[in-house]
Each structure stands twice: as structure tokens, then as C-alpha cells.
Amino acid sequence: MLVLGRKKHQSVVIGDEITLTVEEICDTSNGKHIFGASVRLGFQTPREIPIYRSELRDERRRKRQSGNSEKRLRPRLADRVDIANAQVRLRIQVPRKVPVCLNGKPTVGVDSDDAPHAEAPKTRSVHRVTCGKDDRIAICNNIMISAIRFHRMAARKAVV
């Protein structure tokens, strides 16, 4: 299982045609957005299907085109606080005929508006799925996604 942390508006690209974007992380009790929250998503896929964070995929593409090799910055360490009652709204963009299920029940997708020409057929659909910690999303019966943990960064106390 691959586990990736994502914040609001961050994406994951699965294979070449599936894009998963975190639209919002909110509180289950009142439905309000939780500022500074992130979700840890677990992915179970066959080994031959690549999974990339969208910013990493774009960075690799730029490096290949320019030939530059830059050092990656290490993330800062900070304290994390778990959020008990949270849910995430995901935007899943898939090829039109690919099924997306939440806890075994099919979801309904809408046609995507990303076609380059107005007369071109719409070949992708968008599914908006809201899930909590115990929910499972299945794409094409061989890709499983689950929200493992919700958390936010806490301010560190100064050590004297």
C-alpha cells in the first residue's frame, strides 16, 4: 500500500488517465472546512500502475525537458494533531466508461468539460465523492483508495 498525504487542491495521478484531487476537508458534525488540514490516502494498485503526486510528475517532466537536476528540499518536521471527525471530498477524473464505487455502491459521474474542441466527444467523466476514515473507493475493480488519517500541523512550543 502506498500512502500519500494531500492537502486541499492537491492531486494524485494514477496511471496515465486517472486524476484524484482533494477538493475539501471538512468536519462531519457541522460540514465546515477545516483550515490547514490534510488527509493521508492509501492506494492499493497493481505494481504496473504508476502513482504520482501531481507536482512531482510536473517537476520530473520539466527536468527532462530542461536537463537540470535540482536538489529536493526536505520537509520541516512539526507536530501533527489528529482530527477525529473529518471527511474529505474528492474529485476523481476517469475515462468515461471506468466505474467508480464508494463502499461497493457505484457513483454517478458527469462529463468533463476539458475537451479541446467543442465538437470533440467528451471522453472523461468526473466523480465527486465524499468519504470518511472507514470508507473505500474502488476504481475499475483493481484500484482501491481509502482515507487513512486526517490531521493538521500544530504549533510547536518553544523549549527553554
The DSSP-derived string for 12-60 is: EEETTTEEEEEEEEEETTT--B-TTEEEEEEEE--TTS-EEEHHHHHHH
Exposure string (b/e) for 5-21, b if CB count within 10 Å is 16 or more? bbebebbbbbbeebbbb
pLDDT above 70 (res 31): yes
Residue 60 amino acid letter: R
Q: Which three cell numbers stand for residue 105?
A: 455502491
pLDDT at 112: 73
SS3 per-residue string spanning 47-116: CCCCEEEHHHHHHHHHHHHHCCCCCCCCCCCCEEEECCCEEEEEEEEEECCCCEEECCEECCCEECCCCC
Note the pLDDT tens digit of each residue in 97-137: 899 999 999 999 898 766 555 555 568 999 999 999 989 99
pLDDT at 76: 56
Q: Which residue has the higher pLDDT, 57 or 15?
A: 15
pTM of the model: 0.79
Note the pLDDT tens digit of each residue in 44-92: 999 999 999 988 766 666 666 776 655 555 555 567 888 888 999 999 9
